[in-house]
Chains A and B, each alone.
Chain A
Amino acid sequence: MLDQTSSAPTLLKVENLTTQFEIEAKSFFKKPSVLTAVNDVSFELKEGRTLGIVGESGCGKSTLGRSILQLIRAQKGRVVWQGKNLLDLSEEQIRMARRDMQIIFQDPIASLDPRMTVGDIIAEPLTVFEPKLSRSERLQRVQDIMAAVGLVPEMINRYPHEFSGGQAQRIGIARAVITRPKLIVCDEPVSALDVSIQGQVITLLRKLRKEFGLTLIFISHDLSVVRLISDDVLVLYLGRIVEAGDCATVFSAPAHPYTQALFSAAPIPDPKLARQRSRIRLQGDPPSPMNPPPGCPFQPRCWKATDICRTKMPPTELVRAGQSAACYHMDLPAEA
């Protein structure tokens, strides 16, 4: 669906993935309510490409990333990875599959065990997946990977609280790549860092992607960062994909009203340009995922909404080659 032109083999296929949480009832007599964080998400990811997932806070970006890795168990759908549906696997089988799929976290310091040295933290996946390595071999691997992510190997015996956010994120990246995984989910890897460090970490990720042939899923609310690193992009609203396509197309001509509003809210670093453009201002907050509106999830805030939007969920349709969206009133290209 995302990119038909690429001939690379498919690495990951997600079909109708749905993740729900049960929220305990406030009263003993009420039924527990269900929160649908990821709703009927499907996409395909080719090897070597980078998929950006964007959306505002609480739209299910992180839950989607964790559901793909089965760190959060999804309820419905399929995640096809190396010919197997991850939803059917046992905990033990998933554990073994983790060698090839890793994650980088948002808060770099919090993702490192405060009582372990950097060397032990980075070596942890190795001790699990390659327990036969000797001490010196493991040390060598850790030092190599530290050099590759731009850390001074002399720091191997330091503890996480002695590092800055950017350095800590490099440690997190080193831990994620040490087993040479095929897929890495980057869950807002730079949003906790300041801008100059963001640039360094993005550059590092791009370098590692090339060196190790990684496929990335890059979750972020920062559109400029996503644009910088992604080949494809998914726009999520209330757990649903509202628009998907290759990055250049979606960014130059967003079709779904929500995507248009989202892009128009992104800051432009040039005040002249910023003053010229028209800003779409949305009214209200996104609805609660525990009690989604009927029809299209975006309909209560959409300026184009009509009766059909309020009754039926719009189907996902192709806008143009390499772009699809779910809306009854999307902006179609002129020639169509």
Chain B
Amino acid sequence: MILNPAKRELLAAELLEAEGLSPEGRSLTKDAMRRLCRNKAAVVSIVVLALLILAAFIGPYLIPHNYEDPDWAAFRAPPSWEDGHYFGTDPNGRDLLARVLYGTRVSLAVAFVATLVSVVIGVLYGAISGYFGGRLDSIMMRFVDIMYALPYILFVILLMVIFGRNVYLLFAAIGALEWLTMARIVRGQTLSLKNREFIEAARASGQKPLKIITKHIIPNLVGPVVIFAALTVPEIIATESFLSYLGFGVQEPLTSLGTLIAEGTDAMESMPWLLVFPAIFLVSLLLSLLFIGDGLRDAFDPKDR
């Protein structure tokens, strides 16, 4: 199999040509992305999510009304094309479209902040606990068990007292509570990964334990972590809606989808548009995120289908 250089070059060129490939390899992540693109529900969801994100971040600049200033000419106005309140106005005369777009922005931002925090903490915690194992693992996982046992809402109320003014900090803190499940999932995956031969090979190559975690364990966790993160985002949006509904979340005049829905339900009979429009936004947001999460799971785990 040892060929002379000239022959080798020729063979290499032929090989690459025959397979119709560039010398660049196909990574597992690229493969997964290709499979994701073949999943219709996921592709549609990605488009919907992209539109929602665009609308939430650019939309407010394109419409004539502001989310906090009342229109003195239109209180409780139903949706209409003529006066520019396409979604109608609320009892204070504020444009509902502007408020819904702004609320979507807040809900999305809050969800991504919390998910990011929970992924970072959960992955590091779970990978360290699973890789080192033994007593350290026992102590770290018992801590997780204790955190699970404490009532979530109690923590949220405590955090409210601390971070009440800043909704983003509040949700960063909620992310710091949400990492528990992530840590368990990551630990389980790490336990099965660390007995694989390529980890032993890395140890035999003299790689340091922390480097093994960052270079070999975490990259191989991409699949489950991406999937779980994609499913955490809608969970946090729902949590935020719930907290806002209870009055713990976003404060007036700032708004979020949850707050809007809470206000909408109060006036459901007289002004149904106050409930319907934010609900449509919330449902399409949650559904598209769930479908994307589902599609990612199928794409990263082709064996499970």
Contacts and interface: CB of A to CB of B under 8 A. Distances in A.
Contacts of B11: 152
Given A113-B220, A115-B222, A159 B206 contact: no
Contacts of B197: 105-107, 110-111
Contacts of A152: 8, 11-12, 15
Given A96-B206, A98-B205, A124-B202, A114 B1 contact: no
B252 interface: no
Interface in B50-89: none
A223 B219 CA distance: 39
A113 B205 CA distance: 13
Q: How large is the interface on A (under 10, 10 to 19, 20 to 34, 35 or more residues)?
A: 35 or more
B253 interface: no
Interface in A70-116: 71, 95-96, 98-99, 102-103, 105-107, 110-116
A147 B26 CA distance: 22
Given A111-B197, A115-B28, A98 B220 contact: no
A150 B12 CA distance: 12
Given A115-B28, A150-B1, A157-B23, A71 B203 contact: yes
Contact of A115 (B202, B203, B208, B220): B220
A155 interface: yes
A102 B11 CA distance: 31
Contacts of A154: 12, 15-16, 23
Contact of B206 (A110, A125, A172): A125
Q: How large is the interface on B (under 10, 10 to 19, 20 to 34, 35 or more residues)?
A: 20 to 34
Tell me what chain B mostly uses at the interface: helix, strand, loop, or mixed.
helix
B23 A113 contact: no
Interface string A151-182: 01011111101100000000010010000000
Interface string B212-225: 00011001101000
Interface of A: 69, 71, 95-96, 98-99, 102-103, 105-107, 110-118, 124-125, 128-129, 147, 150, 152, 154-159, 161-162, 172, 175, 200, 204, 207
